[in-house]
């Protein structure tokens, strides 16, 4: 299996501020890749430059070997779907209308929605288990349902690569698990390559095959959850004391937070906890 996405020496940022500094990594076809890092480490910026929304300053982003700046927007959208972190809609479209918008990159000017488009949308809705919500309007959806609608819309683009920016923020644990289970299912069943920015280290640990840990716009560590999610790496990057244990069921690393005590000497706590 080849690399579906390859990022070489990427440098980018906003106006004058350089945010991503010399980042290189690649995603294999069918891989489930997570990007983690503290606030301001450049996760969202990295995602935005991978999608071409933000023009990068230096380096290259290759999709299946082609430079993304050379791929027309529509063609790109037929291959790569993106779920931004925040998506507010002030207009009450129905679920089906929203999901059908995923066909936009395929429709020529003035071409109307065909039976085939509708079938694809219906299929995405059943995959994401929202078929019963077809005629529901945006404002009437719960957070978890809304997230599934957005995923269904993305699937309707029939992408090979799905990029998600913190899809579980604002969701309770049930819906966090539900959303990530769904993404995992799509990854396995449709061989959809996933690149997901995650806040929650344990979610990243449970679901991702490979994790990229960012610090100040650079890759601090890259590898399997076991390799990246060590207490040393986390304490170094997040400046927070943690203990990493093993999840008794999945055997994946599990990060446990240690609340800071006033006046506690950091160094001492460190030794106490980790022997």
Put residue 9 in one of left, alpha, beta given phi > 0 → left and psi -120 to 50 → alpha: left
Minimum distance, C-beta of residue 87 to other proteins, in the bound complex (Å) = 6
What does 146-171 look like in DSSP terms, one character per residue?
A: HHHHHHHHHHHT--SEEEEE-TTTT-
Neighbours of 240 (CB within 10 A): 13
Half-sphere exposure of 53 (CA within 13 A, CB side): 14
Minimum distance, C-beta of residue 56 to other proteins, in the bound complex (Å) = 15
Nearer to other proteins, 71 or 212 (CB): 71
Q: Note whether 27 and 195 are within 8 A (CB).
A: yes
Neighbours of 103 (CB within 10 A): 21
3-state SS string for 62-112:
EECCEEHHHCCHHHHHHHEEEECCCCCCCCCCEHHHHHHHHHHHHCCCCCC
Nearer to other proteins, 39 or 112 (CB): 112
Nearer to other proteins, 44 or 205 (CB): 44
Q: Note whether 197 and 167 are within 8 A (CB).
A: no
Nearer to other proteins, 74 or 132 (CB): 74
Name the residue among 161, 108, 229 with its Cα closest to residue 2: 161
Minimum distance, C-beta of residue 192 to other proteins, in the bound complex (Å) = 16
Minimum distance, C-beta of residue 266 to other proteins, in the bound complex (Å) = 40
Nearer to other proteins, 90 or 271 (CB): 90
Q: Which residues bind other proteins (CB under 8 A)?
A: 51-53, 73-78, 81-82, 84, 87-94, 97, 101-102, 104-105, 107, 110, 137, 139, 157
Nearer to other proteins, 54 or 198 (CB): 54
Minimum distance, C-beta of residue 72 to other proteins, in the bound complex (Å) = 8
CA distance 196 to 231: 22
Query: 274 — phi, psi (to 5°)?
Result: -110, 20
Minimum distance, C-beta of residue 114 to other proteins, in the bound complex (Å) = 14
Nearer to other proteins, 109 or 268 (CB): 109
Minimum distance, C-beta of residue 88 to other proteins, in the bound complex (Å) = 7
């Amino acid at each position: 299996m080849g690399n579906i996405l390859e990022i070489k020496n990427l440098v980018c940022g906003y106006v004058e501020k350089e945010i991503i500094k010399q980042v290189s990594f690649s995603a294999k076809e069918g891989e489930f890749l997570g990007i983690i890092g503290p606030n301001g480490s450049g996760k969202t910026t990295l995602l935005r430059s991978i999608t071409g929304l933000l023009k990068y300053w230096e380096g290259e982003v290759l999709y299946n070997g082609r430079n993304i700046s050379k791929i027309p927007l529509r063609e790109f959208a037929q291959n790569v779907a993106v779920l931004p972190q925040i998506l507010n809609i002030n207009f009450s479209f129905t679920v089906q209308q929203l999901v059908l918008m995923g066909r936009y990159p395929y429709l020529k000017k003035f071409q109307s929605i065909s039976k085939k488009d509708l079938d694809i949308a219906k299929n995405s809705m059943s995959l994401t288990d929202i078929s019963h919500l077809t005629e529901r309007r945006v404002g009437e959806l719960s957070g978890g349902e809304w997230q599934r609608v957005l995923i269904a819309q993305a699937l309707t683009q029939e992408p090979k690569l799905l990029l998600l920016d913190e899809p579980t923020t604002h969701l309770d644990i049930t819906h966090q698990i539900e959303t990530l289970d769904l993404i995992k299912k799509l990854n396995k069943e449709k061989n959809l390559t996933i690149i997901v920015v995650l806040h929650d280290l344990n979610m990243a640990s449970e679901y991702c095959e490979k994790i990229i840990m960012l610090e100040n716009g650079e890759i601090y560590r890259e590898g399997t959850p076991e390799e990246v999610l060590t207490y040393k790496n986390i304490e170094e990057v997040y400046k927070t004391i943690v203990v990493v244990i093993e999840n008794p069921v999945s055997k994946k690393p599990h990060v446990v937070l240690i609340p800071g005590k006033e006046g506690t000497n950091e160094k001492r706590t460190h030794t106490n906890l980790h022997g």
